[in-house]
Amino acid sequence: MSTTRIPAAPITGLYGTLVKRFSMKMLGRVPEPLGVYFHNPAVLKSYLSISAKARKWHACDPSLKSFAHLAVASMLGCSWCLDFGYFEAFNEKLDLDKAREVPRWRESSVFTPLERDVMVYAEAMSVSPPMVTDELSASLRERIGAPALVELTAFVALANFYTRSNIAFGIESEGYAEACDLAPMAPRPEVASGA
């Protein structure tokens, strides 16, 4: 396990017991980020609440959202989000051959044009300033519909929240994918300087 920039707090009290019990039931362990966030239970409650609500969104294809989240995590370098996202793709019975290729999606031949555009969109939302174009938005809206595009946009924003928070806290992979004997994800290609 890595050393985070803010050491995990003991997860105690009634709320802590509930969080640990739920984590053990769903994952078989208590994820490291919960201990970091437990320094401020109000923030943790909000974090978990929005995550639970986002799981109920069903206007956008789960694979597209998974690829978008993995693309954000890969681009920004969040090993925890890549590990857990791949583990979730496995549990949701998504296409693992595609999920494992997300870090090198530009070079891979497994993705459809729509899946590629979703990952372009996710990355365009994730740079500063965001680089989403009218053309890309219009193309996605035409192919997946406005409700799904709204959901995808919110999901990518949440992926940035999770990813950037984990990176700032120094939270790294905990081996969720390895615990399921999943083949390693394809490595992200080196980007030439100035590219």
Evaluate whether residue 36 is within a structural domain.
yes
Please choose, from the candidates 69, 90, 79, 73, the residue with its C-alpha nearest in 3D space to the C-alpha of residue 27.
Answer: 90
pLDDT band with cut points at 50, 70 and 90 for residue 149: very high
Q: Is the dihedral of CA 26, 105, 148, 113 positive or negative?
A: negative
Residue 50 identity (one-letter amino acid): I
36 and 99 part of one domain: no
Model pLDDT, residue 33: 92
What is the CB neighbour count within 10 angstroms for residue 111?
18
Model pLDDT, residue 6: 97
* Residue 1 predicted with pLDDT over 80: no
- The pTM of this model reads 0.92
131 and 152 part of one domain: yes
167 and 143 part of one domain: yes
Evaluate whether residue 1 is within a structural domain.
no
CATH number of the domain to which 95 belongs: 1.20.1290.10
39 and 116 part of one domain: no
Model pLDDT, residue 2: 58
Say how many Å lie between the first and final Cα of the chain, rounded.
Answer: 33
Q: How far apart are CA 109 and CA 137, in angstroms?
A: 23
* 173-193 tens-digit pLDDT: 999 998 888 888 889 887 544
52 and 66 part of one domain: no
148 and 65 part of one domain: yes
The more confidently predicted of residues 3 and 5 is 5
Model pLDDT, residue 183: 84
Q: How far apart are CA 111 and CA 56, in angstroms?
A: 26
105 and 190 part of one domain: yes
Evaluate whether residue 30 is within a structural domain.
yes
pLDDT band with cut points at 50, 70 and 90 for residue 194: very low
Evaluate whether residue 3 is within a structural domain.
no
Number of folded domains that form the chain: 2
* 87-120 tens-digit pLDDT: 999 999 999 999 999 999 999 999 999 999 999 9
Range of the domain at 184: 59-195
88 and 164 part of one domain: yes
> What does the pLDDT average to over 42-56?
96
Contact 136, 120 (CB under 8 A): yes
Q: Rounded to the nearest 5°, which phi and psi values hold at 94?
A: -85, 175
Evaluate whether residue 187 is within a structural domain.
yes
111 and 147 part of one domain: yes
* Residue 195 predicted with pLDDT over 50: no
